[in-house]
Structure 1
């Protein structure tokens, strides 16, 4: 056989294994690692670059032929993962891109890596809310994007030294500023796990670059991968029923689909953006157990019961801006248990839509779980019930962010219970305003867990008839309370561990202790008014850099008890309004 013939055979074999786009990937000198999972057997996930970052499949991680872009990696969500080692080339210090195709079956019980080292180094993560996060150097701002379950999605995170960007299916979805080097980590690079949770689904085409891909490159990679995914089987109209057949018949032209009676949805259906669902009075969709109805277009509906059944409804927030619990049968009559209806409305807005509660009293029998970017807005709406926590993340052990809560009253009915009004464990970057909280053991619990709860703002919040109004524990960072009213309380603010904590223009009346600071630093108490209480402010030795500006006291025998070394009281001749000296 001649050299020319051998070369021809080699090129044919090479082109069989890789597309022309794949050859372009290998030609990039900044491509640090690339796992295609094309081996199909054995326990080694080969790195297609020359850097030999080969991974080892652990605990039954499986090859799945013809499921993704060729063969994909299937992980069971229990203990499967790939260990890619800790080679020096994986310690990237300046710019980076993390890229993968993922097909999640379900959200993990806790946050897990798609691929990554640690929060403080770099990672592309996936959490129980079906949201992908991008971490660099433990930065406080982590761009994130909702990812659908049960289908392939292309997720990319890039960092250029000043901006973090996250792309979903070729489109820029989130961006945050960060200017610091990527921290080195001696931990192994893992695909599909963290120390506490594992990815449940399939992963394919994982790449790491030591440069940020451009938006044009990300789109090209998405287009290349999408062209090589398995093509869906042709739809047989004769096998479709009900809503699925109606959607099929309308095709891809703009149309309105009227729902005039009760119609069953027995299989997963996606209503595309070109179809507007228009509900007539009495029109209703009954979604069967295990079925997902995805509404990716606009909806027109009265404030009435239009969804029923145990199945799930999911909205695209680009078209459905506001969702009502009444669509799932909420009555707001103080008697009917509205918990399931409120929860269904929140779950339907997993991409960040707004859940609006019209005026009324909603009986609640169990904790309402808020997801990332949940916006819960009320118009003189009351949530009432004896529960462990009225509002909380789906898993308090996993970080969530972006809540917006306004115009609600949370009534726990009994301060002798162990209930919490708002549980802010590991919640960050949220805003609460014009909210009243009554009748709990703790009105608001701020807790960073083993990480941090960061940069949450509370404005015009009223807390009364609670043993503790606000309790801050475990690295609660950057909290601010402004223009609040606290009354009829045991302790208004119990600060166990925190920093960058601000309380401003707030009235505390009828209390045992106003502000009890036990440990923390950089605390600011500005223009606080204390009335009819025992001890206004207590500052323990474990507190540093506390500043108190213009406090006022009325009928408070112990105004300031200070055991710290560096407390700064500005305007120490604070005004006394009736205290017996």
Structure 2
């Protein structure tokens, strides 16, 4: 009898031990499953923090803490990378109103560490005008810089593609009196992403005119210019000029030869004494030039000094940016990467 009581007395103790063991096992399984679930769904694995400062080309991001390799994206497109531990490193992002900056870890989790929408004037570059050719329809091309430099479409009005305007040779855009957010403009940067269908005739990508002040970017046939070497039949010669209206274009500089039918970015910049032209981020030519700069009428796809039916552009334009500040080599490269 005593033995039976001892056995019965021990049974609850054994049962409690077994119950605890089962609970521990279940807990371990649940924790393991939880870690596996988080790992598979991209749970944040590091931290990153940044300080932001406005520059002429856009926001400068400086990493104040960085625990993993990251990619900085602008509207979903990679524009820069920062390595783990590189606190203090800065990158420039060519931001415009409505843009979205994200910072994504480069490990397999791809965690989003920063997600920021640009909606403040102090977070964008020194814009005069910004055209993406996506927001236009019918007779209007919208200026995304918020400076109200909307362009009116003249001519055929049939070239909207969804992400560009395909010029037929009988259409162009016009802005009457560009508005700039500064009282006086003494330097500027003009950038255009385009693809030409022909290199056999002079074509105007964009041109500005105000009294005797004239500047723009145009295409000239390679066959007319010694700066183009080799086969000239399928090439063209982009040039950036700033001079007096109707003048000799003494300030023009050439970037060619460039292939016909290839999408590319041309940037022209003027700092008050020097003009420079870049093709796809690479410097091509520079020249000394001294002239006052004003903001007058602006034409896209045609000659500003004609009635709108001379030297019209034949091809597609995807994007145009105009700033009231001159850019250096690094800023041009950053801008080009965003516009490619």
TM-score by length of 2: 0.54
Change (3 A) 1:93 1:137: farther
1:24 Cα offset (Å)? 9.8
Alpha carbons 1:40, 1:64 under 8 Å: kept: no
State the distance in 1 between where 2:252 and 2:136 align. Answer: 35
Change (3 A) 1:214 1:82: same
Question: Could you tell me which of 208, 211, 214 is aligned with 1:121?
Answer: 214
Alpha carbons 2:206, 2:301 under 8 Å: kept: yes
Question: Could you tell me which of 56, 63, 66 is aligned with 2:160?
Answer: 63
In the alignment, structure 1 residue 137 sits paired with structure 2 residue 243? yes
Tell me the residue number matched to 1:199. Answer: 313
1:113 Cα offset (Å)? 2.3
* 3-state secondary structure, aligned to 2:164: strand
Tell me the residue number matched to 1:342. Answer: none
State the distance in 1 between where 2:208 and 2:318 align. Answer: 18
1:206 Cα offset (Å)? 0.2
Question: Could you tell me which of 203, 219, 229 is aligned with 1:112?
Answer: 203
State the distance in 1 between where 2:329 and 2:295 align. Answer: 28
**Structure 1: gaps (5+ residues):** 1-13, 66-70, 227-581
In the alignment, structure 1 residue 209 sits paired with structure 2 residue 323? yes
* 3-state secondary structure, aligned to 1:89: coil
Tell me the residue number matched to 2:3. Answer: none
- Using CA pairs under 8 Å that are at least 6 residues apart, name the structure with larger relative contact order, 1 or 2: 2
1:151 Cα offset (Å)? 0.9
State the distance in 2 between where 1:101 and 1:127 align. Answer: 17
TM-superposition CA deviations, 1:303-344 (whole Å, max 9, x none)? xxxxxxxxxxxxxxxxxxxxxxxxxxxxxxxxxxxxxxxxxx
Alpha carbons 2:266, 2:280 under 8 Å: kept: yes
TM-superposition CA deviations, 1:129-158 (whole Å, max 9, x none)? 321111113351311111321010100000
TM-superposition CA deviations, 1:86-110 (whole Å, max 9, x none)? 235399641010100010000363x
Change (3 A) 1:115 1:42: same
1:120 Cα offset (Å)? 3.8
TM-superposition CA deviations, 1:20-61 (whole Å, max 9, x none)? 399499733521100011125322110001110001122124
Alpha carbons 1:108, 1:198 under 8 Å: kept: no
Alpha carbons 2:189, 2:270 under 8 Å: kept: yes
* 3-state secondary structure, aligned to 1:216: helix
Q: Please tell me the root mean square deviation across aligned C-alpha atoms, in Å.
A: 2.9
Alpha carbons 2:206, 2:300 under 8 Å: kept: yes
* 3-state secondary structure, aligned to 1:167: strand
Tell me the residue number matched to 1:84. Answer: 175
Q: Which one has the largest radius of gyration?
A: 2
* 3-state secondary structure, aligned to 1:217: helix
Alpha carbons 1:160, 1:211 under 8 Å: kept: yes
Change (3 A) 1:92 1:203: farther
* 3-state secondary structure, aligned to 2:312: coil
State the distance in 1 between where 2:167 and 2:204 align. Answer: 12
In the alignment, structure 1 residue 168 sits paired with structure 2 residue 279? yes
Structure richer in strand, relative to its length: 1
State the distance in 2 between where 1:81 and 1:206 align. Answer: 14
Equivalent residues, number: 204
State the distance in 2 between where 1:211 and 1:157 align. Answer: 11
State the distance in 2 between where 1:108 and 1:167 align. Answer: 22
1:127 Cα offset (Å)? 2.0
State the distance in 2 between where 1:23 and 1:114 align. Answer: 29
Alpha carbons 1:112, 1:197 under 8 Å: kept: yes
Tell me the residue number matched to 1:219. Answer: 333
State the distance in 1 between where 2:262 and 2:153 align. Answer: 23
State the distance in 2 between where 1:56 and 1:38 align. Answer: 15
Tell me the residue number matched to 1:270. Answer: none
Taking the TM superposition and a 5 Å limit, the aligned residue runs for 1:219-368 are 219-226=333-340
Change (3 A) 1:201 1:25: farther
Alpha carbons 1:37, 1:205 under 8 Å: kept: yes
State the distance in 2 between where 1:185 and 1:108 align. Answer: 31
